Amino acid sequence: MNIEKLPTGIEAFDHISDGGLPLGRTTLIAGSSGSAKTLFGAQFLAMGIMLFDQSGVFVTFEEQVDDIRKNLRSFNWDIDTWEKEGKWVFVDGSPKEEDSITVGDYDLSAFRIRLEHAINKIKAQRVVIDSIGSVFTQFPDMHTIRRELFKVAMTLRRLHATSIITAERTEEYGEISRFGVEEFLADNVIILRNVLNKEKRRRTIEILKFRGSNHIKGENPFTIIPDKAIVIIPLSAMELKQRSSHVRVTSGVPKLDDMCGGGFYRDSIILVSGATGAGKTLLVANFINGIREKGERCLLMAFEESREQLFRNAKGWGQDFEKLEEDGYLKVVCIYPEVSSLEDHFINIQEIVKSFKPDRIAIDSLSALTRTSSEKGFREFIIALTSFLKHEEITGMFTATTPLLTGGASVTEGNISTITDTIILLRYVEVYGEMQRAISVLKMRGSKHDAAIRQFTIDSQGMNIGEPFNGVSGILTGNPVVVKQNN
Amino acid sequence: MGVKTLQSKMGKHILELYVNGSSLTSVEAIETLQNICEEHLHGNCEVEIVDVLKNPERAEEAGILAIPTLIRKWPLPESRIIGALTIKSRVLAGLGITNGNTH
């Protein structure tokens, strides 16, 4: 049996949770301090109001109501109007200034009555309680509070409110929460993490369990951006819907199309690997030029060179990027990789793709992006990006810089070569004391391709691919040897 | 300030007790408080008993979570005692009442 879900409206969360939060149930959201638990809860209510016209109750045991209002406004959420219109109600359980002592037994029935009253008053479908830990700080009797929280959970269930209860964790990988509350809230558990790894912060969300219901397993990275709050980057959800296209598009170099058996597949990802100056950006320029054939649009994300450099180089190869951009066929975005995290770069690319709607995208170079992330984070970025591009049926060309002039594998390649559909190698080859350039299609998923390593030259028209290197072996390993031929 | 000082000198206690219907702890707290009012304050007190079941809004305004909760509104500063008020001496101390006298 699959439990009905309530779409949260939080981008991508509804993907990874296979539809949202379990309808009419309580979900425990556990996370260390600063893991964005409160924001997740607030966003759940805000999206309910903005997208589904569902009202919500926010219970705070920790932060003062005014501070929360301030935070909400910073995300451009119109909390003041929502409160006026009865779409959002606070139940304030935050600690008060007055002294308080305890004499004798007590229960939290006043809180339960207030909660029920608030839910009924605005017919709330969504409830957030933030956070359990603060209840225990205010009321020291563990046993009583656990019993009371159990009753709160029962009240929420009786009222069919889809609810979030947040709880603190002391470590990122350990027991679910500090207070053992998962014993009675254990049906649905989500964990938010904010891990510091190699000087880089990485936020992830993991659905630990949704009893009786599907969800994507494992951690998915997320980021917090000013006008959208939490944005999750699903790693696997999007892959499920990938189609495989048999439509071919030109690489912009007729001879390279031949080598690939008739061009690139439309929804494929092409990795171009080579040392610095080996002709990667040239290949990108040709790839961009390929849009002329069918009047397509291309987005170029440049992480290494400035606009001026790029345009000047393209001119040298006989291509006018400026004109292409003026006519709306090309969009060039130059950003330093270091300006934001990889997650934010991903969201940025996604936004540009959604507004510009390109048929092709070129990223020059991916290697520059590895500087801003851990290896794991980088791999996730590539998975998310390629899934997204395939889903949008965009042809993608990524470049990777090899550390050695004569070849060798780069970190970038090691991470992504299995994810890409086509790999093109550009290498320097020393033959008879002369530097020559070589191009080879190493891999072409789902198609025949030329196995030869061919020579190429660069002139004012761009790339000219010539004959195979006959009689030379060891090019790819960087140790070319001339083999005697029998003619 | 004049009136307040006067009130303070009169030693009148203004108290609010938040209860939940006739739950066991609520009944216990009401009994203890009535006893304190009669024996220790000699009726020189105003006690309002608020049933949160009937008046959830009052509980909301006062930010009450636990039942029973006793609030000393006067004399200042405001203070709260949570629980069934089972130990009278501690309640008296909490309310600032010393041995049958008011201060």
Asked if A466 and A368 sit in the same domain, the reply is yes
pLDDT at position A469 is: 82
Rounded Cα–Cα distance for residues A219 and A217 (Å): 7
Using the beta-carbon criterion (under 8 Å), do B64 and A117 form an inter-chain contact? Answer: no
Find the mean pLDDT for residues A471-476: 73
Asked if A14 and A47 sit in the same domain, the reply is yes
Rounded Cα–Cα distance for residues A463 and A290 (Å): 13
What is the domain count for chain A? 2
Partners of A99 on chain B (C-beta within 8 Å) are 77, 79-80
Confidence class for position A5, pLDDT limits 50, 70, 90: very high
With an 8 Å Cβ cutoff, is B23 touching chain A? yes
Q: Which of A98, A102, A111 sits opposite B65 (nearest CB)?
A: A111
Asked if A229 and A246 sit in the same domain, the reply is no
Q: Between these two residues, A55 and A228, which has the higher pLDDT value?
A: A55
| Distance (Å) from the alpha carbon of A118 to chain B's nearest alpha carbon | 9
Architecture in CATH of B2-95: 3-Layer(aba) Sandwich (3.40)
Specify the 3-state DSSP secondary structure of A99.
strand
Specify the 3-state DSSP secondary structure of A154.
helix
Summarize pLDDT for A241-290 with one digit per residue, the tens.
Answer: 555 668 889 999 999 999 998 899 888 899 998 888 888 999 999 999 88
Asked if A289 and A196 sit in the same domain, the reply is no
Q: Supply the ipTM of this predicted assembly.
A: 0.88
Q: Between these two residues, B71 and A12, which has the higher pLDDT value?
A: B71
pLDDT at position A20 is: 92
- What CATH number has the domain bearing residue A204? 3.40.50.300
Asked if A76 and A199 sit in the same domain, the reply is yes
Active site residue A338: no
Interface with chain B: mutation pick from A90, A106, A116, A145, highest number of B CBs within 10 Å = A106
Q: Which of B63, B64, B66 sits opposite A139 (nearest CB)?
A: B66
Active site residue A430: no
pLDDT at position A436 is: 86
Partners of B68 on chain A (C-beta within 8 Å) are 106
The residues on A that touch B, with CB distances below 8 Å, are 91-94, 96, 98-111, 113-114, 116-118, 138-139
Sequence ranges of the domains in chain B:
2-95
Asked if A221 and A249 sit in the same domain, the reply is no
Using the beta-carbon criterion (under 8 Å), do A106 and B83 form an inter-chain contact? Answer: yes
pLDDT at position A240 is: 45
Q: What percent of chain B has pLDDT over 70?
A: 84
- Type of residue numbered A365: S
pLDDT at position B2 is: 46
Asked if A226 and A252 sit in the same domain, the reply is no
Summarize pLDDT for A387-438 with one digit per residue, the tens.
Answer: 888 888 899 999 988 877 666 666 566 667 777 888 898 888 877 778 888 8
With an 8 Å Cβ cutoff, is B86 touching chain A? yes
Nearest 5°: the CA angle A478, A482, A485 is 145
Using the beta-carbon criterion (under 8 Å), do B86 and A101 form an inter-chain contact? Answer: no
Asked if A426 and A281 sit in the same domain, the reply is yes
* Confidence check: pLDDT of A115 > 80: yes
A487 within a domain of the structure (yes/no): no
Confidence class for position B101, pLDDT limits 50, 70, 90: very low
Find the mean pLDDT for residues A72-95: 94
Q: Please, is A31 exposed, middle or buried when counting C-beta atoms within 10 Å of its C-beta (0-12, 13-18, 19+)?
A: buried
Using the beta-carbon criterion (under 8 Å), do A103 and B52 form an inter-chain contact? Answer: no
Q: For chains A and B, what is the number of CB pairs under 8 angstroms?
A: 102
Summarize pLDDT for B44-91 with one digit per residue, the tens.
Answer: 888 999 999 999 999 999 999 999 999 998 888 889 999 999 998 888
With an 8 Å Cβ cutoff, is B68 touching chain A? yes
- Asked if residue A480 has a cis previous peptide bond (ω within 30° of 0), the answer is no
Asked if A119 and A250 sit in the same domain, the reply is no
Summarize pLDDT for A336-360 with one digit per residue, the tens.
Answer: 888 888 888 988 998 899 899 999 9
Asked if A324 and A193 sit in the same domain, the reply is no
Summarize pLDDT for A225-252 with one digit per residue, the tens.
Answer: 887 889 888 776 454 455 566 888 999 9
- Pick the closest to residue A5 from A173, A207, A203 (CA basis): A207
Rounded Cα–Cα distance for residues A272 and A267 (Å): 16
The last residue of one of the domains, among A234, A260, A282, is A234
The last residue of one of the domains, among A234, A254, A282, is A234
Using the beta-carbon criterion (under 8 Å), do A109 and B67 form an inter-chain contact? Answer: yes
Asked if A39 and A125 count as a contact pair (C-beta separation under 8 A), the reply is no
Q: What percent of chain A has pLDDT over 90?
A: 39
Q: Please, is A349 exposed, middle or buried when counting C-beta atoms within 10 Å of its C-beta (0-12, 13-18, 19+)?
A: buried
The last residue of one of the domains, among A208, A234, A260, is A234
Asked if A168 and A193 sit in the same domain, the reply is yes
Asked if A374 and A412 sit in the same domain, the reply is yes
* Confidence check: pLDDT of B100 > 50: no
> Can you give the residue range of the structural domain that contains A267?
242-482
Output phi, psi for A107, to 5 deg.
Answer: -135, 175
A211 within a domain of the structure (yes/no): yes
Find the mean pLDDT for residues B90-102: 73
Tokens of A390: 């395939």
